[in-house]
Structure 1
Amino acid sequence: MKAVWARGLRGTLGVWMLGLTGLVLGLTAQAEPAVPEAPSASSPSGMRLESTPRIAVISAFAPELVLLHKAVREPRQYQVNGVTFTTGSLQGHPVLLFLSGISMVNATMNTQLALDRFNVSHILFSGIAGGVNPELRIGDVNVPERWGQHLEVLMARETAPGTYERPADKETMQVPGFGMLLHRAVRVVSEVRSRPEPQFWFPADPGLLALARGVQDVTLQPCDQDKVCLREQPRLVVGGTGLSGTAFVDNAQYRKHLAEVFQANVVDMESAACAMVAQANRVPFLAFRSVSDLAGGGPGANEMNTFLNIAAENSARVLMAFLERWR
Structure 2
Amino acid sequence: MRRLLAFLVLLVLCVSRRMNGEVSGQNWKEINKINRKGPYTGIVVPNAFEMNPLLQSSSFHADPKLPFFDFAGRRFRIGELEKKRVIIVMTGLSMLNAGFATQLLVTLFKVKGVVHYGIAGNANPQLQIGDVTIPQFWAHTGLWNWQRFGDGAEDELALEANGDYTRKLGDLKFSNFNNYTKSVPNLLNRVWYQPEEVFPLNSIPELRQHAFWVPVNNTYFNIAAKLKNVTLEGCVNTTCLPRKPTVVRVKRGVSSNVFVDNKAYREFLSSKFNATPIDMESAAVALICLQYKTPFIAIRALSDLAGGGSSLSNEASLFASLASQNAVIVLIKFISLLVS
The residue number in structure 2 matching 1:176 is 171
The residue number in structure 2 matching 1:212 is 224
**Equivalent residue letter for 1:61:** N
Q: What is the CA–CA distance in structure 2 between the aligned matches of 1:163 and 1:280, rounded to whole Å?
A: 32
The reply to whether residue 315 of structure 1 matches residue 310 of structure 2 is no
The residue number in structure 2 matching 1:297 is 308
**Equivalent residue letter for 1:325:** L
Q: What is the CA–CA distance in structure 2 between the aligned matches of 1:87 and 1:113, rounded to whole Å?
A: 14
**Equivalent residue letter for 1:185:** P
The reply to whether residue 202 of structure 1 matches residue 193 of structure 2 is no
The reply to whether residue 251 of structure 1 matches residue 259 of structure 2 is no
The residue number in structure 1 matching 2:61 is 73
**SS of aligned partner of 1:171:** helix
Unaligned runs of 5+ in 2: 9-19, 175-189
Q: Is the 8 A contact 1:145 1:241 kept in 2?
A: yes
What does 1:119-134 align with in structure 2 at a 5 Å threshold?
A: 119-134=110-125
The reply to whether residue 223 of structure 1 matches residue 211 of structure 2 is no
Q: Is the 8 A contact 1:157 1:164 kept in 2?
A: no
State percent identity of aligned pairs: 30
The reply to whether residue 187 of structure 1 matches residue 197 of structure 2 is yes
What does 1:31-42 align with in structure 2 at a 5 Å threshold?
A: 42=22
Larger radius of gyration: 1
Q: Is the 8 A contact 1:59 1:98 kept in 2?
A: yes
Q: Is the 8 A contact 1:157 1:165 kept in 2?
A: no
**Equivalent residue letter for 1:230:** L
Q: Is the 8 A contact 2:229 2:246 kept in 1?
A: no
Q: Is the 8 A contact 1:178 1:254 kept in 2?
A: no
**Equivalent residue letter for 1:310:** L
Q: Is the 8 A contact 2:62 2:77 kept in 1?
A: no
CA gap 1:185/1:163 in 2 versus in 1, 3 angstroms? closer
What does 1:211-290 align with in structure 2 at a 5 Å threshold?
A: 211-224=223-236, 226-290=237-301
Displacement of 1:178: 4.1
The residue number in structure 2 matching 1:31 is none
Displacement of 1:239: 2.9
Calculate the aligned-residue CA RMSD, in Å.
2.4
**SS of aligned partner of 1:291:** strand
Q: Is the 8 A contact 1:146 1:242 kept in 2?
A: yes
**Equivalent residue letter for 1:59:** V
Q: Is the 8 A contact 2:256 2:279 kept in 1?
A: yes
TM-score, structure 1 as length reference = 0.83
Q: What is the CA–CA distance in structure 1 between the aligned matches of 2:226 and 2:43, rounded to whole Å?
A: 20
Q: What is the CA–CA distance in structure 2 between the aligned matches of 1:44 and 1:269, rounded to whole Å?
A: 32
Range with greater deviation from structure 2 (134-143 or 50-59): 50-59
Count, aligned residues: 295
Q: What is the CA–CA distance in structure 1 between the aligned matches of 2:143 and 2:22, rounded to whole Å?
A: 31
TM-score, structure 2 as length reference = 0.80
CA gap 1:216/1:255 in 2 versus in 1, 3 angstroms? closer
What does 1:86-165 align with in structure 2 at a 5 Å threshold?
A: 86-159=77-150
Q: Is the 8 A contact 2:228 2:248 kept in 1?
A: no
Q: What is the CA–CA distance in structure 1 between the aligned matches of 2:258 and 2:39, rounded to whole Å?
A: 34
Displacement of 1:43: 3.1
Q: What is the CA–CA distance in structure 2 between the aligned matches of 1:174 and 1:282, rounded to whole Å?
A: 25
CA gap 1:205/1:178 in 2 versus in 1, 3 angstroms? farther
Unaligned runs of 5+ in 1: 1-15, 26-39
